[in-house]
Structure 1
Amino acid sequence: MDPGFVKPEEEVKEGEDKGQGVVIPQIPGDVKLRRCGYCLVKQPMRARHCQLCQHCVRRYDHHCPWLENCVGERNHPLFIVYLSVQLVVLLWGGHVAWSGLYFEQSWEWLQHNIFLLVSFLLIFIFTIVVLLLLVSHLYLISCNTTTWEFMSHHRISYLRHSELENPFDQGIILNLWRFFCSRHLTAWENIYFHKNSEPV
């Protein structure tokens, strides 16, 4: 699905409802948005151009090679649901594979059960990978940061010049609420400039 592609018509109709249930957020008048060098649209804060999708994506997290799609502001909650369902299926598959094993110390037993052992080992490895991925994403969500921001903090201008380590963090509860329950796109510029103007 659309991860939150930045569209050129948003420049003209900024702040208007487009009839698709999406409110294009208003930004402060004195904020200058960066123009993408590839698709030439004005990038909202936290957006990034994806070379594989050939689009700028709002609140860009990463490009998932398994889904062949970007993970951004609009589909990131569904990506978490996808990882959760995948983890449940892997745990169930691991349980089924383990329950089919009756251990005996014989070469004949090993020949008959080698595929079951290999499948259990693969399921175990994939379960660990998906669990680590899910836990790391939930941690980043609770801090209101993205994988891209976490990995490239030193290269992103709005993070490098911020007085705060993470200017978008609003506390765990509000971060989780905004991530899972908000239906509208967020004007991250408002949060960024509000937080940076507060005395530290």
Structure 2
Amino acid sequence: MALRALLSPGVLVRTGHTVLTWGITLVLFLHDTELRQWEEQGELSLPLTFLLLVLGSLLLYLAVSLMDPGYVTAQPQSQEEPKEEQAAMVPQAIPLRRCRYCLVLPLRARHCRDCRRCVRRYDHHCPWMENCVGERNHPLFVAYLALQLVVLLWGLYLAWSGLRFFQPWGLWLRSTGLLFTTFLLLSFFSLVVGLLLASHLYLVASNTTTWEFISSHRIAYLRQRASNPFDRGLTRNLAHFFCGWPSGPWETLWAEEEEEGSSQAV
């Protein structure tokens, strides 16, 4: 049982990320990059800053990967039908969806087949995190992407500073082949993380999720709607996402948008 837990996908993915992170950092220190030159000259502030940023990005990764993304607690079978006082709080126009596992789902929640749980304000399941990105860890996920991009771009610059192209091919391959491979990896990771960060900032600014953006035509509460019912402008969207203000159930925002649309139609 213990061996099975150690070989679980989550442990393997997180271990792989940790090993790759410190392995790339070690390559940058061992080769003749500006990072090593600063260290040899006794200028330790920049190398220490780089190490702290790497450590911070790794801790953010583990926090997002291990924390509860906003799991919906499964309701007992006897409570499948909502009570009268609970039903009265939910506008009747909202199309309630049911999950075969969690029964009644809150608005904007979705069942994740990988986690086998329903997640509030579900965005996506991240295989690199081996966890869902949802209501509770989405802000930390965006912060992780931003910090990781800073680390990757700095690492990319450091790797480039250590490449020497004016050498015979065989000697160059032996001396800088590993550093060049690291440079290619950092280039790829920088591109991927940069695109992810840009897309998530756009989603946050419009108060939507990856799942809603891709599958709006299949989602009952978004189908046949001309606009996003949860969008309250850039400032309020950012304040709600990062600070939880203004707070309130999504059902209220949906109902307000529905009422505004109905009044305009009349």
Counterpart CA distance in 2 for 1:185 and 1:171 is 15
Q: In the alignment, what sits opposite 1:36?
A: 99
**Structure 2 residue 142 is the aligned partner of structure 1 residue 76:** no
Pairing of 1:44-59 with structure 2 (within 5 A): 44-59=106-121
**Selected match of 1:6 from 72, 76, 96:** 72
Structure 2 CA distance for partners of 1:52 and 1:8, relative to 1, 3 Å? same
Q: Partner letter of residue 121 of structure 1?
A: L
**Structure 2 residue 209 is the aligned partner of structure 1 residue 146:** yes
Counterpart CA distance in 2 for 1:131 and 1:141 is 15
State the Cα deviation string for residues 55-89 of structure 1 (Å, max 9, x = none).
Answer: 11110000010111110011100111111121122
Contact kept in structure 1, 2:95 and 2:221, CA below 8 Å: no
Structure 2 CA distance for partners of 1:155 and 1:174, relative to 1, 3 Å? same
Q: How many residues align?
A: 186
Structure 2 CA distance for partners of 1:87 and 1:180, relative to 1, 3 Å? same
Q: Partner letter of residue 147 of structure 1?
A: T
Counterpart CA distance in 2 for 1:69 and 1:186 is 26
Q: Structure 2 unaligned segments of length 5 or more: list them.
A: 1-66, 83-87
Contact kept in structure 1, 2:239 and 2:246, CA below 8 Å: no
Pairing of 1:64-103 with structure 2 (within 5 A): 64-103=126-165
Bigger Rg over Cα:
2
What secondary structure is seen at the aligned counterpart in 2 of 1:44?
Answer: coil
Instruction: Provide the alpha-carbon RMSD of the alignment.
Output: 2.4
State the Cα deviation string for residues 79-125 of structure 1 (Å, max 9, x = none).
Answer: 11111121122112112211112330522224421221121111011
Contact kept in structure 2, 1:7 and 1:41, CA below 8 Å: no
Q: Partner letter of residue 74 of structure 2?
A: P
Structure 2 CA distance for partners of 1:29 and 1:195, relative to 1, 3 Å? closer
Counterpart CA distance in 2 for 1:179 and 1:142 is 9
Q: In the alignment, what sits opposite 1:193?
A: 255
Contact kept in structure 1, 2:73 and 2:102, CA below 8 Å: no
TM-score normalised to structure 2 length: 0.64
Counterpart CA distance in 1 for 2:231 and 2:246 is 18
Structure 2 CA distance for partners of 1:115 and 1:96, relative to 1, 3 Å? same
Contact kept in structure 2, 1:143 and 1:169, CA below 8 Å: yes
Structure 2 CA distance for partners of 1:41 and 1:101, relative to 1, 3 Å? same
Q: Structure 1 unaligned segments of length 5 or more: list them.
A: 15-25
Structure with greater helix percent: 2
Structure 2 CA distance for partners of 1:58 and 1:138, relative to 1, 3 Å? same
Q: Partner letter of residue 151 of structure 2?
A: V
Identity %: 54
Counterpart CA distance in 2 for 1:174 and 1:71 is 21
Structure 2 CA distance for partners of 1:183 and 1:67, relative to 1, 3 Å? farther
RCO higher in structure (CA 8 A, sep ≥6): 1
**Selected match of 2:178 from 115, 120, 129:** 115
